[in-house]
Structure 1
Amino acid sequence: MKIAVVGTGYVGLVTGTCFADSGNEVTCVDINKAKVDALNRGEIPIYEPGLAELVEHNVQAKRLTFTTDLAAAVKPADIVYLAVGTPQGSDGAANLSALWSVVESLAPHLRTDAVVVTKSTVPVGTCARITSMLREFTGRDCDVASNPEFLKEGAAIEDFMKPDRVVVGVRRQEVADILHQLYEPFLRTEKPFLSMSPESAEMTKYVANALLSTKISFINEMANLCERMGGDINDVRRGIGHDSRIGFAFLFPGVGYGGSCFPKDVRALEAMAVQHGLEPTILRAVDAVNERQKSVLAQKIEQHFHGDLGGKTIAVWGLAFKPRTDDIREAPALVLIDWLLEKGAKVKVHDPEAMKNVRADYGDKLEYCDMRMDALEGADALCIMTEWKDYHSPDFAEMYQLLKSPVIFDGRNLYEPDRMKRRGYKYFSIGRPAV
């Protein structure tokens, strides 16, 4: 098939590349000429394991191209995927201004038999609105479908190539058949292709992310309670996770979730509930707990140093909101860094992939260390904010020598408290007694 993907952000680039890899002819479109020029030079704007190699392979095979020419991409396309940004607006709802602009721009160039598919996370009713807009602009009824993405940053290629399920929202069975054919190469392990209304498909994306966010906020709140009551959240997690009704997924305590999806989608779903006269009690609590959790290490640090951080040097390992990505959007590490700077501390940071993005925001306010151990030299404490594998098995003896004082605030529970105590460290983690 000939496919146009509008938007070369995280979702659009992964989607277009994976469809090209299954033999389709894909043209990715973006209004950012500098980004398109960089992609044509083989430069990938995001870090995602395996993506650079897959882009290069499909560009060389002439199945994947990048352009700023929307008309040229849309005119021959059997399917036009919309993967433009839908950032959070001031009221918490998704801002769809870029999406509406794209729909208006592509309408004159759309083939009569083309299918327009939303891949962006959009509020319920967006497909219906696009259908109405295209009818107004073209004078005919156009097929518009929803195909929400369920990609985890750091594992997006694997998630796309081997999905748990594919969800499509359609008005006509013929459109479902076209999309099923498109996805057949990825469904060879008998994973389900779920066809439903566009409204249900749009809702599915939000509900999935809201439920996963709820599990994270719940386990974090329970972790804080365990600390107060002398329990160990890791023991509790094992005790409940073996219950088949609960499971272990997303029940790892930490310093809160971040990224471009969970915070935005929880707030957008909350805004939709309010617009329809409902009180989103659970959603508001999930978001509030998560925002509060991002400050949990700051509270431990302030208590340990008796509120006096002026002149102290704090090392921070991990800046991205999760490992295997350079995404720092809503990252808990940035909340901690802002607080440390406000308290007058000097901050030394390390991250395997995200330092370039952090440097763009913070400039010379931080000391950037290319090697993880360099961040520890002369530091009064280490804070661990992202569970990169690089941090799982360090040389603790070397760390002890480099740190000015052997104090670790572990926001991801990477180490065993008793072992850290035997190594001579003062060790603080999440939901477990300090040692």
Structure 2
Amino acid sequence: MSTPRLLLGQTFEARGNPFRQPWREAVRIDSAGAVLIEDGLIRAVGNRDRLRRDAPQAEVHDYGPQLICPGFVDAHVHYPQTAIIASWGKQLIDWLNTYTFPEEMRLEDPDYAARIANRYLDLALSHGTTTMCSYTTVHAHSVDAFFDAAAARGMRTVAGKTCMDRNAPEGLRDTAQSAYDDSKALIAHWQGQGRATYAITPRFSPTSTPEQLSALGSLWAEHPECLMQTHLSEQPAEIAWVRALFPQARDYLDTYEAHGLLGPRAVFGHAIHLEPREIDRIAETGAALVHCPTSNSFIGSGLMDVAGLAARCIPVGLATDTGGGSSFSMLRTMAAAYEIAQLRGSALHPAQLMWLATSGAARSLHLHDRIGTLAPGHEADLTILDLASTPAIAQRAAEAKDIWEALFPTIMMGEDRAISDVWIGGQKHRPASSG
């Protein structure tokens, strides 16, 4: 038994989905809250005075007016693209050919893959992200590098080997058979190992032949406990390319469904330009969509209809999409989600934005029974937000009439300085030394 720890502060608690019910009923902030953690789990959440009485032996960490919330969950990233984040001036296909593929080829070197994995995780943690779902490269050791680095930090993560057997440089192509074999071996090694979840990962339909998609669909049928992640309807030019490559398909989603790659544990990134039939099938099957707002604007992809899709009871998560996205910060990502929703005619409430970055993203990854919510029995991954981290934020928060108005400036203007502390599995994270 570890020493119980009692964290005092304001607590962000989600009890429902603020897109399906009034946000006041779904989410609350307790200004006199506390979280009791022990043996890596949350034991209790409630009033600080009561929990002090109930756990007098607990080691107290008093965060004053700071906000204790679940660790941020980033539902779609490409850790191999860490070094090329914020590269200038390309849309999707050009981005892949100019920046992504050359950088991913560098991860053929296992030492470089490990270095980038460690760098990415340190950057994510510095921004309060405790769990993410990542693509890797075609190299099986790039999966090992990511999961090894996450295990060293005690993190819960999701990842899978990125499979491509066409329309990519030779050094990044596998085959239908090797994609199946490599992925199957990686599943045997990593699925359920520690805090790791495996995601079967075709990059997207243009870089996989029908034979490879079918092989991965067969693998998923053999291992339904895994997730399946890929991209869907990110840009109009991409959709036109898919139509040319799959002339028999009804639409982009059908290129996956026809090969066994649609189901309740499917996670589709972007999903901006969906056809009505695609929305219907996603809602029917329970598949999840992931909103990548900084990437969608940075690469010029379009404006995802988050509110409309959530209204169809489709699980929607939030993601930075590093490195097509322009920030490692889920706060910046929430701000971009707000701005894009405004352009679509709706103003997402701070409660909805925070929910997307925590409970909503965890739900999209089928981890909502373990992370993403301050609730007894959940894993104690926590992020502590300083709501006055910069002079600009502090002066605005000082004028706030309620806690939501005080939180919103941090969502809109916050970055790594707003992250006061991060807890992983009930232990305070200690950043790696700069040396």
Shorter-chain-normalised TM-score: which range? under 0.3
TM-score by length of 2: 0.26
TM-score by length of 1: 0.26
State the structure with bigger RCO (CA 8 A, min sep 6), 1 or 2.
Answer: 2
Q: Which has the larger radius of gyration?
A: 1
